[in-house]
Amino acid sequence: MWSVAYSPDGQHIISGSGDDTIRIWDAETGAAVGKPLEGHTTSVRSVAYSPDGQHIISGSDDNTIRIWDAETGAAVGKPVEGHTGIVWSVAYSPDGQRIVSGSGDSTIRTWDAFRPVSIQYPFSSNPIQPQIYTSPDEDGWVHDSEGRLLYWVPPDCRIGLHSHALLTIPRTSHVRSVSLDFKDFAYGTSWTQIFNST
């Protein structure tokens, strides 16, 4: 067993195994529920339930993520591909709209849960690749990967409201659909007065 997780209602436990399957268990009795979920071609390293309990996701040594119907055990769609290494970890976002995966290829990817395509440039721990996001420094400035100032975050927005989900897209990225809306952007030589007046 590589990974286990409870269903949101606490009635079931799922497990991912070295026998290439996912199993569902009755949390009260420990009895297997239905047949094993089969489809991965190698060990299942990670499993998770969707927040509504209707789906199960799994990550495997075969470098794919699979989505399953938790009620029937049937595979939902084709394997989700994009990683080039073992998928060690998978999870749903709290609203169930996104899936996140961590892989042996040194990246984290986020996916649309209902149309499983990668929706962000992969976060990478590989120092050769450019850094694509950063938190504000101690003065509140966010810098790009080359140390240039991008924008300033007010103190009351640095915790909670400012998120790593705000991405700095490097020039080398294949993502070209990012746009900025400056409609309510405060700027100029007296930007603090503009900010305080809004």
Beta bridge partners of 13: 6, 25
Region 100-117 average pLDDT: 84
pLDDT confidence tier of residue 30, bands split at 50, 70 and 90:
very high
- Dist. CA 106–CA 104, nearest whole Å: 5
Is it the case that residue 196 has pLDDT exceeding 80? Answer: no
Residue 148: the pLDDT is: 74
Cα–Cα dist 95/46, whole Å: 20
**CB-CB contact of 123 with 132 (8 Å):** yes
For residues 154 and 140, is the Cβ–Cβ distance under 8 A?
A: yes
Tokens 């975050």 identify what position? 153
- Which has the higher per-residue pLDDT, 48 or 120? 48
Confidence of residue 12 (pLDDT cuts 50, 70, 90): very high
Q: Does the pLDDT of residue 61 top 70, yes or no?
A: yes
pTM of the predicted model over 0.75: no
**What SS3 state is found at 189?**
coil
Average pLDDT over residues 68-86: 90
d(CA 121, CA 108): 9
Domains of the chain: 1-125 (2.130.10.10), 130-198 (no CATH)
pLDDT confidence of 135, banded at 50, 70, 90?
Answer: low
Question: In residues, how long is the chain?
Answer: 198
Helices (H) and strands (E) in the chain, counts: 1, 13
